[in-house]
């Protein structure tokens, strides 16, 4: 299936474009080794299952940072959802095309998506928003709220850490990451118009010494605020 490419606005900061290109290149270097290092995704599967219990058959779902498409895009497709996989890394999106050929594919930055209301019944972002600085995480959450239908769902996973846009070694590459303490993440979700419907905290040890053990936060949220009234 053909891949749609998002165009960055002409005024986009050159430094930001260079940063995002470096992030994409790092994940293309990692490729399928990501799933090898993180083979146990029970928390992710459980959060997506909570989402599926609340969605109608055929619901439109955007998978932000879909990576290889495993397990989430495949789980959603097999449940009958209409899934769009969005990723910044072309190599990752190629893997997703092989793993979930029934999805639609978009190459680009979440922040470059058309800001049009009601595009999706749900958005999932498992370990993808952590690649943004905190200020842009807030911007991304507001955008997600606007592209959802009223009362739509947002499933999110983050690593718990009190860091903002720091460079770390990861699976033989170098990436920039952001984390929140759980109370701060809950507060940010409320501030951007979401109500938390489900939450799970998982202690995770990767199957490799090139990634550190981490505390994973899984949250399923429902849009409750009118985006027109957000600050």
Instruction: List domains and CATH numbers for the chain.
Output: 3-229 (3.40.50.150)
Phi, psi of 120, deg, nearest 5? -140, 150
pLDDT over 60 at 229, yes or no: no
**How distant, in Å, are the alpha carbons of 37, 38, 53, 153, 197 from that of 203?**
15, 12, 25, 25, 21
Residue 206's pLDDT band (boundaries 50, 70, 90)?
A: confident
Per-residue pLDDT at 199: 98
Per-residue pLDDT at 226: 60
Per-residue pLDDT at 231: 44
Give the chain's mean pLDDT.
92
CA neighbor of 123 nearest in space, from 95, 88, 157, 97 = 157
From CA 200, how far away is CA 107, in angstroms rounded?
30
pLDDT over 50 at 230, yes or no: no
Of 5-19, 47-61, 65-79, 150-164, where does mean pLDDT reach its minimum?
Answer: 5-19
Per-residue pLDDT at 2: 80
Taking only the tens place, the pLDDT of each residue in 128-163 is 999 999 999 999 999 999 999 999 999 999 999 999
What Rg value do the Cα atoms of the chain yield, rounded?
Answer: 16
Residue 10's pLDDT band (boundaries 50, 70, 90)?
A: low
Q: What is the pTM of this model?
A: 0.93
Of 69-73, 142-146, 202-206, 210-214, where does mean pLDDT reach its minimum?
Answer: 210-214
Per-residue pLDDT at 31: 84
């Amino acid at each position: 299936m053909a891949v749609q490419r998002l165009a960055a606005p002409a005024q986009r900061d050159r430094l930001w474009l260079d940063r995002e290109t470096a992030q994409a290149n790092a994940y293309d270097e990692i490729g399928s080794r990501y799933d090898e290092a993180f083979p146990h995704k029970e928390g992710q599967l459980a959060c997506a299952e909570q989402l599926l219990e609340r969605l109608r058959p055929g619901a439109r779902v955007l998978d932000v940072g879909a990576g290889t498409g495993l397990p989430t895009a495949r789980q959603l497709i097999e449940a009958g959802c209409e899934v769009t996989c969005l990723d910044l890394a072309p190599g990752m999106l190629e893997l997703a095309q092989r793993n979930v050929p029934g999805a639609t594919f978009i190459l680009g930055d979440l922040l470059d998506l058309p800001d049009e209301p009601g595009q999706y019944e749900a958005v999932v972002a498992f370990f993808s928003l952590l690649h943004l600085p905190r200020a842009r995480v807030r911007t991304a959450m507001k955008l997600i709220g606007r592209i959802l239908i009223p009362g739509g769902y947002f499933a999110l996973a983050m690593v718990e850490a009190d860091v903002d846009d720091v460079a770390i070694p990861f699976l033989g590459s170098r990436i920039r990451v952001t984390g929140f303490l759980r109370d701060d993440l809950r507060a940010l979700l409320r501030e951007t118009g979401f109500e938390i419907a489900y939450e799970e905290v998982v202690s995770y040890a990767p199957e490799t010494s090139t990634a550190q053990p981490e505390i994973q936060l899984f949250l399923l949220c429902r849009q409750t605020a009118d985006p027109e009234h957000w600050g």
